[in-house]
């Protein structure tokens, strides 16, 4: 493989240093993976058709063209080469398929062909969806995880894939050549399997920011290759997971933008009354509220409540969820009394329809307790949060994110009831548990640290509050940037407590 400098030097020699023809040469070399064979054949094609590097890049990016259309014909290959890049790779795959476990290298490469060439989790091959795809058309026992891993190593031996630290990489041109060998039916089957496999490896909690970045990149790659198929074959749930990941990572503006795209796309492809179209609208409204667009969120939840009643009926859980979210947004808009009244009705309906222990019932009770506190009933709210904490621990376990959230609300109520020192102690323990369970950079961990810092001041430690907000501000800026609501609040709180020191 060439280095970037060697690739540049090679193209300069082929084009006699012509600066016009070498425009975008470095970008082209990178897109060809600095592969000498690919660069040689691309240069031969460009010289034959009098193209510069920029024009060739445009042809290479044109999805209407097959890879064979942008490589020289067999009789025009440079440097006494006998096969095109695509043909060379095809022969390598045939050889890999003959290695043990026989017949698996090809299916593994096909599954890899729709993911991010920069890297995707090796675990996709050993998911239920991945193993089922690899075993289609195979006689004998089902494919095992060990066999899938061995097939990846066969591809490595023949330089068709690379792997380290649980991440597999396949060159974009190898992926393209692989996809172009599939007819529409086989490609649709591949896209569905890839979407299901990616969902299986996507954790409920992304402890490390880099993990979410990599998974979202793979969802985006899959959508770029198979977006049409995903929507027609029900594989769009992976796109919803990608959008959730943006918001859960604190990238609020990006989350809102992505849910706007998905809501519009769902309405166009599935119809405005489809359950998943309504669900996308619900998530869009929720993230709008998180970003501070309370009026927009409330208006959308109001419209959703009506649409859900009409489409799914008044007792459907999605209808109740829209009503619960609408009530919460009304409270955020300043009408705590209206929020309490509406949530009392919603909680009663949830209990009747879903039962006392349903997760949505518990969440609506959280909303209700919070707005009762805002109305001035801190003691009643504290009692309800204490009861909720017992229920959450029993139903979801002590380390569930919602259980951790209730602990924070209970600690806050203790502070409001006149015991800021108890609030500090509770939040210190909670911050440690959030870091352990969710990761130190998770948005819920950061918000817990903010609440802890906020109670240090009333507990008599203004300097400690200022120091905590200074450290928190630095982390917010590094993780989510200057425009995140948490960043702005940390900066405001830091200025306040510095003034109190």
* Cross-strand bridge partners of residue 169: 162
Per-residue model confidence (pLDDT) at position 69: 66
Task: Report pLDDT for 119.
Answer: 96
Residue 148: CB partners within 8 Å, gap ≥ 6? Answer: 104, 108, 125, 126, 130, 131, 134
pLDDT for residue 2: 84
pLDDT at 94 (0 to 100): 77
Alpha helices (runs of H) in 83-144, residue ranges in sequence order: 85-98, 105-112, 128-134
Q: What pLDDT shows up at residue 308?
A: 98
pLDDT band at 82 (very low <50, low <70, confident <90, very high): very low
| Residues contacting residue 176 through CB under 8 Å, at least 6 positions apart | 67, 113
> Tell me, what's the pLDDT at 86?
59
pLDDT of residue 68: 62
Q: Is 141 helix (H, G, I), strand (E, B) or coil?
A: coil
For 19-54, the pLDDT digits (tens) are 999 999 999 888 887 877 778 777 877 887 788 999
Residue 120 β-bridge partners: 168
Sign of the dihedral defined by the CA atoms of residues 185, 188, 190, 196, in that order: negative
The 10s digit of each residue's pLDDT in 172-212 is 878 888 898 899 999 999 999 999 999 999 999 998 888 99
Q: 3-class secondary structure for 250-311?
A: CCHHHHHHHHHHHHHHHHHHHCCCCHHHHHHHHHHHHHHHHHCCHHHHHHHHHHHHHHHHHH
d(CA 251, CA 112): 28
Q: What is the pLDDT averaged over residues 357-384?
A: 96
For residue 268, count other CB atoms closer than 10 A to its CB. 11
Is residue 383 pLDDT above 70, yes or no?
yes
Q: What is the pLDDT of residues 386-420, one digit of tens each?
A: 999 999 999 999 999 999 999 999 999 999 999 99
In whole angstroms, how far apart are CA 351 and each of 345, 360, 361, 364?
10, 10, 6, 10
**Residues 344 and 375 sit within 8 Å (Cβ to Cβ):** no
Query: Is the separation of the CB atoms in 473 and 453 below 8 Å?
Result: no
Query: Picking from 78-92, 124-138, 306-320, 454-468, which range would have the lowest pLDDT averaged per residue?
Result: 78-92
CA 264 to chain centre: 19
Q: Report how far residue 76's alpha carbon sits from residue 47's, in angstroms, rounded to the nearest whole number.
A: 11
For residue 161, the model assigns a pLDDT of: 86
Enter the tokens of residue 142.
């089902």
Whole-model pTM: value is: 0.82
Q: In this predicted model, what pLDDT tens digit does every residue of 246-278 receive, in sequence order?
A: 999 989 999 999 999 999 999 999 999 999 999
pLDDT, one tens digit per residue, over 312-367 is 999 999 999 999 999 999 999 999 999 999 999 999 999 999 999 999 999 999 99
Arithmetic mean of pLDDT over the chain: 91
Nearest to 88 by CA among 153, 180, 177, 157: 177
499 exposed, middle or buried (CB, 10 Å; 0-12, 13-18, 19+)? exposed
- pLDDT bin (cut points 50, 70, 90) of residue 72 is low
Please list, in sequence order, all residues whose beta carbon lies within 8 angstroms of the beta carbon of residue 177, skipping any fewer than 6 positions away: 67, 85, 86, 89, 90
Sign of the C-alpha dihedral computed for residues 387, 392, 393 and 394 taken in this order? positive
Q: Which residues contact 289 (CB under 8 A, 6 or more apart)?
A: 297, 298, 325, 328, 329, 332
Report the distance separating Cα 128 and Cα 267, nearest Å: 31
Residue 77 pLDDT > 50, yes or no? no
121-148 pLDDT per residue, tens: 999 999 999 999 999 978 778 999 999 9
pLDDT at residue 80 greater than cutoff 50: no
Structure tokens at 162: 């690379």
On the 0-12 / 13-18 / 19+ scale of CB atoms within 10 A, 128 is exposed
Residue 240 has pLDDT above 70, yes or no: yes
Written as six digits, the tokens of 63 are 């999805």
Angstrom distance (rounded) from CA 46 to CA 66: 16
Edge-to-edge strand ranges of the sheet holding 167-169? 120-121, 167-169, 162-164
Copy the structure tokens of residue 215. 């998974």
Q: In whole angstroms, what separates CA 321 from the centre of its chain?
A: 23
Q: Show Cβ contacts of residue 431 under 8 Å, excluding neighbours closer than 6 positions.
A: 445, 448, 449, 452
Write down the pLDDT at residue 174: 83
């Amino acid at each position: 493989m060439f280095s970037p400098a060697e690739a540049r030097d090679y193209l300069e020699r082929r084009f006699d240093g012509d600066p016009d023809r070498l425009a975008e040469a470095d970008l082209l070399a990178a897109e060809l993976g600095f592969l000498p064979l690919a660069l040689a054949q691309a240069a031969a094609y460009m010289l034959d058709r009098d193209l510069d590097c920029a024009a060739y890049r445009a042809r290479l990016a044109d999805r209407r063209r097959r890879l064979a259309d942008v490589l020289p014909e067999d009789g025009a290959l440079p440097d006494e080469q006998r096969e095109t890049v695509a043909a060379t790779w095809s022969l390598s795959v045939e050889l890999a398929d003959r290695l043990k476990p026989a017949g698996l290298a090809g299916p593994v490469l096909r599954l890899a062909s729709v993911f991010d060439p920069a890297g995707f989790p090796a675990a996709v091959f050993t998911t239920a969806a991945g193993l089922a795809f690899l075993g289609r058309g195979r006689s004998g026992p089902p494919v095992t995880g060990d066999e899938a891993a061995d097939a990846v190593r066969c591809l490595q031996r023949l330089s068709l894939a690379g792997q380290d630290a649980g991440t597999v990489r396949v060159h974009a041109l190898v992926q393209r050549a692989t996809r172009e060998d599939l007819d529409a039916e086989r490609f649709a089957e591949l896209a569905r399997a890839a979407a299901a496999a990616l969902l299986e490896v996507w954790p409920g909690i992304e402890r490390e920011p880099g993990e979410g970045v990599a998974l979202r990149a793979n969802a985006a790659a899959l959508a770029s290759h198979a977006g049409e198929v995903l929507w027609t074959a029900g594989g769009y749930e992976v796109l919803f997971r990608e959008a959730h990941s943006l918001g859960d990572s604190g990238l609020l503006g990006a989350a809102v933008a992505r849910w706007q795209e998905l809501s519009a796309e769902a309405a166009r492809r599935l119809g405005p009354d489809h359950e998943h179209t309504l669900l996308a609208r619900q998530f869009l409204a929720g993230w709008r509220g998180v970003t501070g667009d309370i009026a927009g969120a409330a208006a959308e939840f109001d419209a959703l409540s009506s649409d859900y009643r009409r489409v799914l009926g008044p007792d459907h859980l999605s209808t109740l969820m829209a009503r619960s979210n609408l009530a919460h947004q009304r409270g955020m808009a300043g009408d705590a009394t209206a929020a309490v009244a509406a949530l009392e009705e919603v909680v009663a309906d949830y209990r009747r329809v879903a039962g006392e222990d349903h997760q949505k019932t518990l969440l609506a009770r959280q909303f209700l307790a919070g707005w009762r506190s805002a109305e001035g009933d801190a003691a009643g709210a504290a009692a309800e949060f204490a009861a909720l904490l017992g229920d959450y621990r029993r139903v979801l376990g002590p380390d569930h994110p919602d259980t951790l959230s209730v602990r924070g609300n209970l600690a806050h109520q203790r502070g409001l009831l006149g015991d800021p020192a108890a609030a500090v102690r509770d939040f210190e323990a909670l911050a440690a548990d959030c870091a352990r369970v969710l990761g130190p950079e998770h948005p819920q961990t950061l918000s817990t640290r903010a609440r802890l810092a906020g109670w240090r001041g009333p507990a008599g430690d203004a300097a400690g509050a200022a120091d905590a907000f200074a450290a928190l501000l630095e982390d917010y800026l590094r993780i989510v940037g200057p425009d995140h609501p948490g960043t702005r609040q940390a900066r405001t709180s830091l200025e306040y407590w510095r003034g109190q020191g």
